[in-house]
Every structure is written in structure tokens, then in C-alpha cells.
Amino acid sequence: MEGISLEELQLAARNHGMPLEALRYPVTPVGLHYLLIHYDVPAVEAEGWRLAIGDRSYSLDELRGRPAAEHTVTMECAGNGRARLEPRPVSQPWLLEAVGTARWRGTPLAPLLEETDIPEGTVEVLFTGLDRGVEGGEEQAFQRALPLEEALRGEVLLAYEMNGAPLPPQHGFPLRLVVPGWYGMTNVKWLSRIELLDEPFGGYQQSWSYRVRQSEEEAGEPLRRMQPRSLLVPPGIPEFLTRARVLDAGPCVLRGRAWSGWAPIERVQVSVDGGESWADAQLGRELDARAWRGWSWEWDATEPGEYVICSRATDAAGNVQPVEPPWNLKGYSNNSVERIQVTVRGR
Ligand SMILES: Nc1nc2c(c(=O)[nH]1)N[C@H]1C(S)=C(S)[C@@H](COP(=O)(O)O)O[C@H]1N2
Ligand SMILES: [Mo]
């Protein structure tokens, strides 16, 4: 496989993942939540900032004064798993760690849209961030649109708090969109403007990026909801460079979390022989229908030797994680099962 370039390393160093041991927390501490910023974190002062919706506009205090809701939401970048594809699409080289769960508090979007008297013929709602950059040779603000019926779902929030504190700059201060179930790019940060469109948005992040296709000639399918995935809290201790795991022989409880943007997680299976045989894990309590589900499985790791540990999620819509990575041009939604090399050592 071709090596990671300095340019990709530069992206990876800016846009950090969630260390997988943080899967132990049901709600990810803010600094451990993954981060993806296409351009720069924009300079924004709360004072003077306003959100335009159609021909109205709101200050942060006005939005904070409206009815509030809080949801615990698992968010995952659509590029998670990209670096494991072959050939490897050149972009932010995520392995598995582009995920996190936060308590997002804000005001529901639907009533704000309804107050603007949605014009007949509206098909999409466009969200524009304050950050600007150049991508694919085009200067742009980060912009994404949602179909009107999705934007009107009651759980869609304009969030001003993350885990009980004001949004930090890197996660979209002062306001971001939160659309439970959808891949990360949907959740536009540093919001400045919301517009109602009478035709589908054709901007770069909609019609060129975030589409599943095999070649540049294909239009492809737009990415929407998160495919199911399960990840393990890595057992034992890691070797510094390779991160291969070493575990003392004996009974061991394997734990992890699983999520899907399509339907609730129905089943998680675990394998300690690289996917030859599977056993059902026990599902934990549901935190929030919009968040990952914890699971555990008792592994009788008494026999020293080499093991490859995997876990696999199935959702109630019947989506199952594949074993082989689903390749596509830009490396999106590679939800193939994780494999962790573990050496069980005798005492
Ligand atoms: N304005 C703006 N919003 C954005 C982005 C961005 O670069 N600019 N990145 C998107 C992508 S690709 C992802 S995966 C999520 C990441 O959110 P987080 O950094 O809060 O985890 O934000 C989305 N919202
Ligand atoms: Mo992303």
C-alpha cells in the first residue's frame, strides 16, 4: 500500500480521532470527540453574530430564549475507515476513530422554519457555515443541504451547547446543526445562514463530495445515514508503535459500542478467531435512541496464544457490517468489521 503523504499527515494531525479506549464513556468527553474541519476554525464573536433564516435573523440570546431540547447523539464522519481501503483514496486518512457521542442542546429547527412561512415548492434547506476555503479548485463556504422533510423532523437541532457547556470553537461555536442518524458532514458548524431552496442544491459538498461512486464519470448516490458499526474498547495494553495488544491469560470482559443511523442496534456478535466463529454479545441499556449502544461479552481467555478479535453489528432494518471493505472512489462509509490482534500471555 502506498504510504501516507505529508499532506495527509497534516490533515490527520489537525483532525484528530477519538482514542478508541474512550469507547468506555457513554458520552465522549469534549476533548476526546473526533474533529473534522475542512478549512480553518473561523474567528467568531458571539456579539454581533446573527443567524439568518430566510428574511429573518436571530441573535444567540434570541435562540437561547426559545424552547430547548437536548439529545445524546452519536456522530461519525462518512470517511471513517477510508485509510483501510485499497487502493487508498487520498484525503483525511481515518482508520476507525472518526466517531464520538455528545449531549447536544439547542433549539429545534422545525418551528423556526415554520415561522418563516415555507414557500410552496420548497424542496431543500441549505445550511451555510462561516468557514471558507478552496476545495476541488473552487473557493467556497462549507455548505450542505437537507431535503425539507428531513429538516422538519422534530429531533433536528440548532445546537449551542455540547455536554452542558457552550460549543467550543472547534465544534462550531456559536451554533451548529445536529441531524441525528446522518453522517458527520450533515451537521454544519459555525452556522450563519439557512435558506429554503426550490431546487436541489448543486454545491461542491453535495453534488461532488459525499457521494458513493466507483468513478468520476458516475453521479453516484448521496450519503445520508450512518451504516452500522461496532467497535471494541481495546483489551489489554498496547505496544507503543504497532499498537498490537497484549493481555494476561484469564477471564476477560470484552466491551464495545455499536450504532447505526438507520434503525436501533439489534444484535452484536463477537469473534476471537478473526471471524471464523461468532457469539452473541449482551446489549447494554439504551442511552438515547440517537446514540450508540454499549455491549459486553465474557471471553474465557485462559489459553495463551494469538487471537484476532472482531465485533459485528446488525440493526433492526437488517443491515449487517460486511467483512470485506466496500470500496468507492472517495472512500466513504467503509464499515467493514474491525480486527484487533491480541497476544494472550501466560503468567
Ligand atoms: N462549517 C463546517 N461544518 C462542518 C464541517 C466543516 O468543515 N465546516 N465538517 C463536517 C464534517 S465532514 C464532519 S465529519 C463533522 C465533524 O464534526 P465535529 O468536528 O464536531 O466532530 O462536521 C461537519 N460540519
Ligand atoms: Mo466528515
- CATH number, domain of 260, equals 2.60.40.650
For residue 311, what pLDDT is reported? Answer: 98
The whole-number pLDDT of residue 3 equals: 86
Q: Are 169 and 233 within one domain?
A: no
How close is the Cα of 249 to the center of ligand 1, in Å?
A: 42
**Three-class DSSP labels, 47-109:** CCCEEEECCEEEEHHHHHCCCCEEEEEEEECCCCCHHHCCCCCCCCCCCCCCEEEEEEEEEEH
How many domains does one find in the chain?
A: 2
In a shared domain, residues 201 and 248: no
Give the Cα separation of 228 and 77 in Å (integer). 13
- Asked whether residue 125 is assigned to any structural domain, the reply reads yes
Give the domain range for residue 281: 229-345
Q: Please check whether residue 156 is in contact with residue 188, taking contact to mean a CB–CB distance below 8 angstroms.
A: no
Which residue among 167, 197, 222 closes a domain? 222
Q: Is residue 276 part of a domain?
A: yes
What CATH number is attached to the domain comprising 139?
A: 3.90.420.10
Return the C-alpha cell found at 275: 471471524
Per-residue confidence (pLDDT) for residue 347, from 0 to 100: 78
CA angle 172, 42, 6 (to 5 degrees): 100
CA atoms within 13 A on the CB side of 127: 26
User: What's the CA-to-centroid distance between 67 and ligand 1, angstroms?
Assistant: 25
- Is 1 among the domain residues? no
Q: Is the same domain home to 57 and 198?
A: yes
Please count the other Cβ atoms lying within 10 Å of the Cβ belonging to residue 202.
Answer: 10
- Other C-beta atoms closer than 10 Å to the C-beta of 164 total 11
The pLDDT, as a whole number, for residue 1 is 58
**Cα separation of 188 and 106, whole Å?**
14
List pocket residues of ligand 1, CB cut-off 6 Å. 33-38, 75, 77, 129, 131, 142, 171, 184-185, 187-190
| Ligand 1, atom 12, residue with closest C-alpha | 185
Verify that 210 and 270 share a domain, yes or no: no
If phi over 0 gives left and psi between -120 and 50 gives alpha, with beta otherwise, what is residue 28? beta
Each residue of 189-248: pLDDT tens digit? Answer: 999 999 999 999 999 999 999 999 999 999 999 999 999 999 999 999 999 999 999 999
Burial class (CB in 10 A: 0-12, 13-18, 19+), 276: exposed
Q: If you ran DSSP here, which 8-state letter would residue 206 be given? A: I
Q: Report CA(8)–ligand 2 centroid distance (Å).
A: 15
Per-residue confidence of the chain (347 residues) as pLDDT tens digits? Answer: 578 999 999 999 999 999 999 999 999 999 999 999 999 999 999 999 999 999 999 999 999 999 999 999 999 999 999 999 999 999 999 999 999 999 999 999 999 999 998 999 999 999 999 999 999 999 999 999 999 999 999 999 999 999 999 999 999 999 999 999 999 999 999 999 999 999 999 999 999 999 999 999 999 999 999 999 999 999 999 999 999 999 999 999 999 999 999 999 999 999 999 999 999 999 999 999 999 999 999 999 999 999 999 999 999 999 999 999 999 999 999 999 999 999 999 97
Same domain, 42 and 156: yes
Judge if 242 and 181 occupy the same domain.
no
The verdict on 264 and 209 lying in the same domain is: no
Distance 189 CA to ligand 1 centre (A): 6
- Element housing 166 (H / E): strand 165-166
Q: What pLDDT score was predicted for residue 335?
A: 98
Q: Is residue 195 part of a domain?
A: yes
**Is the same domain home to 22 and 133?**
yes
Residues 180 and 299 in one domain: no
Is 319 among the domain residues?
A: yes
Distance in Å, CA 184 to ligand 1 centroid: 6
Residue nearest to atom 21 of ligand 1 (CA): 35
Query: Which atom, in ligand 1's list, is nearest to the CA of 33?
Result: 21
Q: pLDDT for 251-274, tens place per residue?
A: 999 999 999 999 999 999 999 999
Look at the block and give the residue holding cell 483532525: 15
pLDDT for 329 equals 96
Q: Are residues 246 and 214 in the same domain?
A: no
Is residue 5 a contact partner of residue 90, using CB atoms and an 8 Å limit?
yes
Q: Is the pTM of this model over 0.95?
A: yes
Which domain-ending residue is among 168, 192, 222? 222
Q: How far apart are CA 225 and CA 210, in angstroms?
A: 12
pLDDT of residue 196: 97
Q: Which ligand is nearest to the CA of 128?
A: 1
Examine the fold and report which residue of 163, 187, 222 is the final residue of a domain before the chain moves on.
222
- Do 45 and 174 belong together in one domain? yes
Looking at the structure, tell me whether residues 214 and 252 fall in a common domain: no
Nearest alpha carbon, ligand 1 atom 5: 37
